[in-house]
Amino acid sequence: MRLILASASPRRLDLLARIGVEVAAVDPAEIDETPFPAESPADYARRIAAAKAVAVAPRHGGEVVLAADTVVAVGRRILPKAADIAEVAVCLKLLAGRRHRVLSAVTVIDAQGVARHRLSTSIVAFGPLSAATIQAYAESGEGIGKAGGYAIQGRAEAFVRFLSGSHSGVVGLPLFETRALLLTAGITLG
């Protein structure tokens, strides 16, 4: 049985490889990821992961499709996937010295078209960050395109003073939940 990854994220490919999962094809979904008014971060993450899987599955009949979405939230506020240096800096100023949640939703549609979903919630706390540290990180470019404007698997890991939950979920794909879904869908792990 072949696995189709409905994501262009190289981090998700790397994470799947860590648990011995071979991806047959990468087919990113092109969907509108605008949050609905008053949508909770958890509902948003689940909706987007499911929508990605549903968008890609018809192109790969009889194969297993995996999609995921990762959201960084402060309270009910969903932080953006930082589009530029300025947005990275805004996100880090908000996250500095406080806790936030990282919600990582996974949807797997099996070969028979049955969709299953899981959500991982992690709590991350950053230590205080100086304006110079924030600016240097933003200018590094590492946070551009990342939920909340940072990559925990990179330089930003040094900002984390506390993590409760799934490190791989914060990176972008919670491996415990993903493994369970893939096994249920009939994917063999190496």
Q: Catalytic residue positions?
A: 69
Distance of alpha carbon 107 from alpha carbon 37, whole angstroms: 23
Q: CA-to-CA distance for 36 and 74, rounded, in angstroms?
A: 17
Count the Cβ atoms, other than its own, within 10 Å of residue 183: 12
Inter-residue contact 174 to 102 (CB < 8 Å): no
153-156: long-range contacts at Cβ-Cβ below 8 A with a sequence spacing of 24 or more? 153/11
- How many whole angstroms separate alpha carbon 81 and alpha carbon 102? 13
